[in-house]
Amino acid sequence: MSDPRTTRRPGSQAGSTTVRRTLRTAVRRIVRFAVSLAVLLVASFAMIHLIPGDPVRASLGPAAPIELVEARTAALGLDRPLPEQFVTYVGHVLTGDFGTSFLTGEPVGDVIAARLPNTLTLALLATAVALIVAVPLGMWAAVRTENGRNRGTDLAFGTVTGTAVAVPEFLYSIALVAALAVGLGWFPPAGKAGPLTYVLPVAALAAGPIAMIARITRVETLRELGTDYVRLARAKRLPPARLHLRHVLPNTLTATLTVGGLLLTSLIAGSVLVEYVFAWPGLGLKIVESITQKDYPVAQAVILVYGAIVLIVNLVVDLVLGALDPTSEIKEVSA
């Protein structure tokens, strides 16, 4: 007869197994994040060395005195061996020292600190608008077209959202400026000088994600509407609003929020051209200016920050998805 003090319940064994699996998966994703961050560091360091010719001479111009070029090269440490340069670069990055701008002499960290909040605000607002508009739109389309009903709505929804997904952000930006700023004069065409200046850049960034998330929400909602528990609820004459909002919606949000998190990273990257069109004082506009003006330390640091943000958001999305949907961890472990 077994000792009851040493007998484990099946439920507790399953719970501990799930916790261990979750921890292993989280550790695996954090290690993958660390490796990706190391690759990003190497790529950003190599950027300035892959520029044809002398980057210092290119930034100062062909007429710059040789003494000035040599002094700037020594100040940047570009005359040292590559391994030593890399170790120094990593040490500076880890302490938040990104060097100084070739053009203004301003610390690059100060430039990023001043402009990064503007870019993040734009991307977060666009993500919020996309989710608020797309989730109800996708659920409405699913309810309207369930079981092959309203083929006209199905065709119109698929055509409009498919086209909207294919249009890049900068084309939305140009169209919105031409129609609503220049044509009708409803909004300022550029700059950041009040609440109205947010409308057009946020709309340009959110238009494509609205279409993408709406399509995914529709597919997930149609899948949920075909499940047994929905049929049982309808047989019990549960009010449609309560059924859709309290039961169907929560089960469709896992995939929708996952895509929303991934779209946040694409919106941060896609904000480069949108900021350029709207003269928005964010990192996107700054990276375009730094590349065209050959201000390489600024371009190098901004690219590194963009990449790090994308990696961090992807890591957070992975961890949140693992918490919301443990089956994703099981699939990853068994893969």
Q: pLDDT > 70: what percent of the chain?
A: 74
pLDDT at 335 over 50: no
More confident site: 151 or 56: 151
- Residues 213 and 291: their CA atoms lie apart, in Å, by 33
201 with 274: CB under 8 angstroms? yes
Q: What is the largest CA-CA distance in the chain?
A: 93
Q: How confident is the model at residue 334 (pLDDT cuts 50, 70, 90)?
A: very low
Q: Is the pLDDT of residue 11 over 60?
A: no
Compute the mean pLDDT over every residue in the chain, rounded to the nearest whole number: 77
Residue 261 has pLDDT above 80, yes or no: no
**pLDDT for residue 324:** 58
Written as six digits, the tokens of 325 are 């949907």
Q: How confident is the model at residue 311 (pLDDT cuts 50, 70, 90)?
A: confident
CA distances from 25 to 12, 22, 99 (A): 20, 5, 37
Angle subtended at Cα 213 by Cα 211 and Cα 217, rounded to the nearest 5 degrees: 120
Q: From the CB of residue 226, how many other CB atoms can be counted at a distance below 10 Å?
A: 11
Say whether 236 sits in a helix, a strand or coil: coil
Mean pLDDT of 102-128: 85
Average pLDDT over residues 188-207: 87
Closest CA to 204 of 270, 262, 157: 270
